[in-house]
Amino acid sequence: MLSRLDETHKANGFANRFLWARVQRSKELPEGAAVPQEASDRLAERLRQAVDFARHSGIVTRDESARELWARVYGPLSAGRPGLTGAILSRAEAQVLRLSILYALLDCSFTVKIAHLKAALAVWEYCEASAAAIFGSRLGDPVADRILDALRAAGAKGMTDTDIYELFGRNRSAKERERALALLKDLKLVRSETSATAGAPRTTWWVT
């Protein structure tokens, strides 16, 4: 999956339409476990009622408390972020909006109340943490990501331009390497120092 989402522009408009959730099973149940019929029927009836209600709904609005909270969280939700994780989370405000409306309609309400919005924000907070855990600090740029991984491994020693050149087996052009290094520097993920030598000046790179 990660290898297929290795460029931000490929992830943009696709991966950010999903709610990513990192989950794991808590126990092994070889035979499974049946949901009690009474509980299943009760949930099915509540869902049927909510669907019937939603089919006849008009405009769904927020109450005053929800409007105040939405005004406070909208800015942070809509703020852009760099890298692949940023692209995947770039529809935060739209996702929270949809979730809050779903919670309201499941509650058979034409009004998004603060409880509905808080529930939506809680779901998004978990999805946001899941995406960060799954995709980490990947930038979605294969050249920049490889350089950054190598610089982290190099530690205090750092890497020279020649080291970075040889990192790719001399299969990446100078233009590609320069673009990737410029991206990393713009994001303040790396720093560099140029020193004089007997020949050409030598530039060394480190992670910040």
Dmax of the chain from CA atoms? Answer: 83
Query: Given this model, what pLDDT does residue 6 score?
Result: 55
Query: Given this model, what pLDDT does residue 30 score?
Result: 86
Structural domain includes residue 182:
yes
Query: Given this model, what pLDDT does residue 28 score?
Result: 86
* Number of C-beta neighbours around residue 198 at 10 A: 4
Q: Are 120 and 180 within one domain?
A: no
Q: Are 108 and 16 within one domain?
A: yes
- CA dist., res. 94 & res. 17, Å (int): 10
pLDDT tens-digit map of 29-78: 888 778 899 999 999 999 999 999 999 878 899 999 999 999 999 999 99
Provide the percentage of residues in the chain whose pLDDT is more than 90: 47
Residues 40-71: b if buried by 16+ CB within 10 A, e if exposed: eeeeeeeeeebeeebeeeeebebeeebeebbe
Cβ(104)–Cβ(97) below 8 Å: no
- CA dist., res. 14 & res. 1, Å (int): 13
Structural domain includes residue 32:
no
Query: Given this model, what pLDDT does residue 5 score?
Result: 63
Q: What range defines the domain where residue 55 resides? A: 2-21+37-135
Q: Are 63 and 8 within one domain?
A: yes
Query: Given this model, what pLDDT does residue 169 score?
Result: 79
Query: Given this model, what pLDDT does residue 2 score?
Result: 58
Q: Are 124 and 151 within one domain?
A: no
Query: Given this model, what pLDDT does residue 39 score?
Result: 93
Query: Given this model, what pLDDT does residue 8 score?
Result: 56
> For the chain, how many structural domains are there in total?
2
DSSP 3-state of 190:
strand
Q: What are the residue ranges in the chain where pLDDT is below 50?
A: none
